Amino acid sequence: MLAEKIMPRFSETDVLGHINNTVLPVWFEAARAPIFKIFTPDLNPHNWKLIVAKVEVTFKGELFYGQEVQIKTAIEKIGNSSFVILQQAWQHNECCAEGRTIMVRYDFETKSSQALSLVEREALEGHLL
């Protein structure tokens, strides 16, 4: 499982004093960079090979400003042209949010999904739960 540490910013705090619910998808996207590099090593958007088909976040607890958050990332399932990324946000040894993102290997010229290559599949399997 991949892990990345984030220090929440004051601007990410809402009126209730905790991290706003709109922030988690942004943190999760940033923590997906190692997965993105499997498909586009230099992260050049002109060579991008993925699209997001679905994003869901389940909130399990509060997250607070100024206290480190660890984002854990793994591959939950691999299909023919798509895969599911499971991510969790941990603070104070508690899983406070969990997200799933369905990514699709995509050909932007033909505007259609593409089967994952053997190399891509093997790289994803290295992060499989």
CA angle, residues 90, 105, 112, in degrees to nearest 5: 140
**What CATH architecture applies to the domain 2-125?**
Roll (3.10)
Distance CA 10, CA 59 (A): 20
Report pLDDT for 70.
98
List, in sequence order, the alpha helices (H) in the chain: 23-31, 33-39, 118-125
Report pLDDT for 17.
85
Q: Is 28 helix (H, G, I), strand (E, B) or coil?
A: helix
Report pLDDT for 15.
87
* pLDDT digits (tens), the chain, 129 positions: 899 999 999 999 988 889 999 999 999 999 999 999 999 999 999 999 999 999 999 999 999 999 999 999 999 999 999 999 999 999 999 999 999 999 999 999 999 999 999 999 999 999 999
Distance CA 2, CA 72 (A): 6
How is the chain split into domains, by residue range? 2-125
- Which residues, in sequence order, are bridge partners of residue 88? 72, 98
Distances in whole angstroms, Cα of residue 70 to Cα of each of 31, 100, 116: 10, 16, 29
Number of C-beta neighbours around residue 4 at 10 A? 16
Report pLDDT for 16.
85
